[in-house]
Structure 1
Amino acid sequence: MSVTRRQVGIAGLGVPLALAMTGTAQAGPRHPRTLYIAGDSTAAQKYADAAPETGWGMALPFLLHRQLTVANHAVNGRSSKSFVDEGRLGAVLSAIRPGDLLLVQFAHNDEKTADPTRYTEPWSTYQDHLRLYVEGARARGARPVLATAVERRRFDADGRAVPSHGEYPAAMRALAAEERVALLDVQALSLALWQELGPEETKRYFNWTATEQDNTHFNPPGAIAVARMVARELLRTRVLAPRDVRRPDGEIPESWITWPEADA
């Protein structure tokens, strides 16, 4: 029996070849589910030296019931390609178990055409790399979930929120439809929210400080708002049931967000 390139790619990420070829995983004992996040700096855990910068993955646990653990593997500066090349997807797949979820959000760094270690082309290599996450999760009996990249704070001269991710959201939407993967359209939802809030009010959601004007990364209010989008989309797409989600409309105090020391 010949082995395809795609099978070799999945097996090389730490998925047993037998599972990669069948697309199924052996049944194991029941366990509390874990939601793994694979993504970039907009979702990542931040530490004390970066405060008040906050990844939306830091706020997500406050919106999910405690029996659903969040394992945030998102890392600053990574693309769908570099996350794989550095062995980070392999590490996630080595830990993931049947019934778990793998939530994937990339595009911010895939767009960096000048950096061959991170750049992917939307309709070819970007989709090819996303398939590694989808197939790797499925081979482990876990459920993949794709999330279009959250929008930057960008407005035109007339105060209209402007999309910044080019063809990447459309490419992810098309792949999700092709592979029948749940899609959380965070890009569309965040663009609509920034439009509703306007140029000035959105500054309260991004990492604007006395010394920095960051239109990509969030502070606690922004991270909470995006995490709420993610939780609501997980409900809308029926990835999660109502019993899995808490405080969908409730207040989450900014004081709940904490930044541990980097060596903790």
Structure 2
Amino acid sequence: MLLPHVLRAVAALLLLAIASAHGQSLPTAVNTDPARAQVTLPVPANPALPSLILIGDSTVRNGRDDGQGKGAAGQWGWGNPIAAWFDPAKVNVVNRAVGGLSSRTYITSGHWERTLAVVKRGDVVVMQFGHNDASAVNDASRARGTLRGTGDETEGIDNLLTHQHEVVHTYGWYLRKYVADIRAKGATPVICSPIPHKQWDAQGRTKRDRDTYGGWAAAVAREQGAGFIDLNDEVARRYDALGHDAVMQLFPQTVPDEHTHTNWAGAALNAQVVAAGLKALGDPRIAAWLKPQPPVNPLPPAREDDRPVVDAASVRDEAPRDPALPTLFLVGDSTVKSGGLHGAIGWGERIAPWFDPRRINVVNAAIGGRSSRTYFTEGRWDKVRDQLKKGDIVLVQFGHNDGGRIGDPAMKNRASAPGTASETVEDTRPDGSKEAVHTFGWYMARYVADAKAKGATVILAAPVPHRDRWQDGRDFATFADWDRQVADANGALFLDLTLLVADGYKQIGADRVNTFFADARTHTNEAGAAFTAERVVAGLKALPGNPLGPYFADKTVAGR
């Protein structure tokens, strides 16, 4: 009779064969162990060039290397942003690290064998392991630990995960194997000590790993005459200089107890230290690969802006909680209300705590993918107008979806005509019917007139700026001008939200601003939405007559 572990091995092989035959990956349940997961890793983009090859764990390459769809706020390894320091015309930067692995399981999983196959003479291979090496040597979940130290001690185990006999070595032994294998290919090995954790000692300084993996990595590098970057100590020194509060901003804010994986800002800092360490090795080849000027505030390769026309049936219409109270209605697009799609949060979803719920309702009636035109033609404005009563306030922000050429299918029948005049442009709907499209200013003036007729106060807000359009020049200049013209001509208030947010960004700097977005340039994440909401409130308090003054919460109620 076949033993149970043999049967399991046979079943796994059959499943792999079936999946391969149909060109499919294995089901998720089979890939729960990182050491056995099917991971697609990059290869050199230009085989004619030398390569800087990175191996390690999730602090070098996290997950699918995409920030989990959360943009800069997600978890990132330093192996992604370090590419910005190198000239792609001179060197390939190939990040073949795999999350969840140790110096041992990167080898036993077969990842090292596959990586070594792309290493050639003249390449440089940088390794950083240690975060997972302290795990259990033998268990049924990961079985990834290594023996402590740098000696030649071994431990024979019957691996509870793989059901194979295995001889486990020390952390230092595995590093020496990498060094020997790399040199056998005519390439140059560089050892990094692991990045420090977000932890502090009794004196308030960042904890170092000098007595464990940091010290052992240094010892192997000295013994082998290999290049060494003391990433653990150098990053810790940077953390100490920045201070506790600034270091906290280098880690994902949605996971307060996350002490290992950085967000994009933290990964960029670590990458800068690695790049400086590589340059300090004195290898003229590496010096030639580096860009003459290091990048300033490199941006994460965030997911492309996705501006779908959100299905109205999927959005719950909000209504005033207490009809007896005045209501602040928010009207706009996905920058006001995103609902958490792909990690995006609109500022309107984080503004309620700034108001006293005993004195005013806050109703966010915004919906993603709409322009001043489509919010009107879909009847969504009618729903807001019908709820309005004397004493209510309406804040309207459109512009992100109003641009483009009318008639262009890519605009999804959203573009409004430019300006504030009364002329119209004919557009053809998908069903073949014709639509007389008005100017942006016409739609905004209609909102003002309808709301004022119900006794409400109207505030027209210029659109929030893009991530790449706040440092130089002015974003949404024409839309801001049209909003101002309509407000002045029709008795509404104007809030220059574009400049308010841009000025706030300038105060905190690009490094922090780059952590505020869930996609390439438009939609904010949790932190960005909260920051923008605070800027909106500052602008509202500065409006002539301070119409919302009686309704703001005190700092205790707002949680600030």
| TM-score w.r.t. length of structure 2 | 0.39
Q: Would you say 1:134 and 2:170 are equivalent positions?
A: no
Task: Check if 1:201 corresponds to 2:246.
Answer: yes
Which of 43, 52, 55 in structure 1 is aligned with 2:77? 55
Write the letter of the residue equivalent to 2:216. Answer: A
Deviation at 1:208, TM superposition (A): 2.2
Residue 215 of structure 1: SS of its match in structure 2? coil
Query: Structure 2 vs 1, CA of residues 53 and 247 (structure 1 numbering), >3 Å: closer, same or farther?
Result: farther
| Secondary structure of the structure 2 residue equivalent to 1:216 | coil
Contact 2:150 2:220 survives alignment (8 Å): no
Match of 2:297 among 229, 252, 255: 252
Among 240, 265, 272, the alignment partner of 1:228 is 272
Trace 1:141-220 onto structure 2 (pairs within 5 A): 141-164=186-209, 166-209=211-254, 211-220=255-264
Q: 1:214, CA displacement in angstroms?
A: 1.3
The equivalences for 1:76-95 within 5 A come to: 76-95=99-118
What is the distance in 1 between the residues matched to 2:206 and 2:252?
Answer: 18
Separation in 1, partners of 2:145, 2:210: 13
**Equivalent residues of 1:148, 1:169 under 8 A apart:** yes
User: Following TM superposition, by how much is the alpha carbon of 1:84 offset from its aligned partner in structure 2, in angstroms?
Assistant: 0.5
How many aligned positions are there?
230
Aligned to 1:31: 48
Closer/same/farther in 2, CA of residues 259 and 123 from structure 1, 3 Å limit: farther
- Partners of 2:114 and 2:210 in 1: CA distance: 28
Post-superposition offset of 1:158: 4.1
Over the matched positions of the two proteins, sequence identity in percent amounts to 27
8 Å CA contact 2:67, 2:76 repeated in 1:
no
Residues 159 and 50 of structure 1, relative CA distance in 2, 3 Å threshold: farther
Structure with the larger RCO, 1 or 2 (CA within 8 Å, 6+ apart): 1
Partner of 2:156: none
Task: Name the CA distance, whole Å, in 1 between partners of 2:293 and 2:58.
Answer: 24
Asked if 2 retains the 8 angstrom alpha-carbon contact of 1:144 and 1:181, the reply is: yes
Structure 1 residues 156 and 100: alpha-carbon distance in aligned structure 2, compared to 1, 3 A threshold: same
Deviation digits for residues 178-215 of structure 1, max 9, x if unmatched?
11100011011011111111221101111222x54311
Quick check: 2:85–2:295 contact (8 Å CA) kept in 1?
Answer: no
Task: Please give the alpha-carbon distance, in whole angstroms, between the structure 2 residues aligned to 1:219 and 1:248.
Answer: 24
Q: Which one of the candidate residues 229, 237, 242 is aligned to 2:281?
A: 237
Does residue 44 of the first structure (1) align with residue 61 of the second (2)? yes
Q: Which amino acid aligns with 1:73?
A: R
What is the Cα deviation at residue 165 of structure 1? 6.8
* Structure 2 Cα separation of the partners of residues 48 and 33 of structure 1: 28
State the shift of 1:168 in Å.
Answer: 1.3
1:103 to 108, 118, 126: 126
| Structure 1 residue 245, shift from structure 2 partner | 1.2
Letter in 2 for 1:225: L
Counterpart CA distance in 2 for 1:194 and 1:50 is 27
SS in 2 for 1:109: coil
Letter in 2 for 1:122: G
**One-letter amino acid of the structure 2 residue matched with residue 41 of structure 1:** S
* Distance in 1 between residues matched to 2:113 and 2:102, nearest whole Å: 15
Aligned to 1:10: none
User: What is the TM-score with the length of structure 1 in the denominator?
Assistant: 0.80
1:85-135 superposed Cα distances (whole Å, 9 cap, x missing partner): 001111111111111111110000011146562111122311111111111
Once residues 303 and 211 of structure 2 are traced to their aligned partners in structure 1, the CA distance between those partners, rounded to angstroms, is 32
The aligned residue for residue 65 of structure 1 is 87
Offset of residue 33 of structure 1: 0.8
1:123 paired residue number: 150
Structure 1 alignment gaps of length 5 or more: 1-29
Secondary structure at the aligned position of 1:213 is classed as coil
Q: Output one character per residue of 1:44-84: Cα deviation in whole Å (capped at 9) or x when no partner.
A: 04235363111100101101111211111111111000100
Larger Rg: 2
Query: Counterpart amino acid of 1:123?
Result: T
User: How far did residue 156 of structure 1 move?
Assistant: 3.1
1:129, 1:150 → 2: CA distance? 19
8 Å CA contact 2:59–2:262 kept in 1: the answer is: yes
Measure how far apart 1:157 and its partner are.
4.7
What root-mean-square deviation, in Å, do the aligned CA atoms of Structure 1 and Structure 2 show?
Answer: 2.2
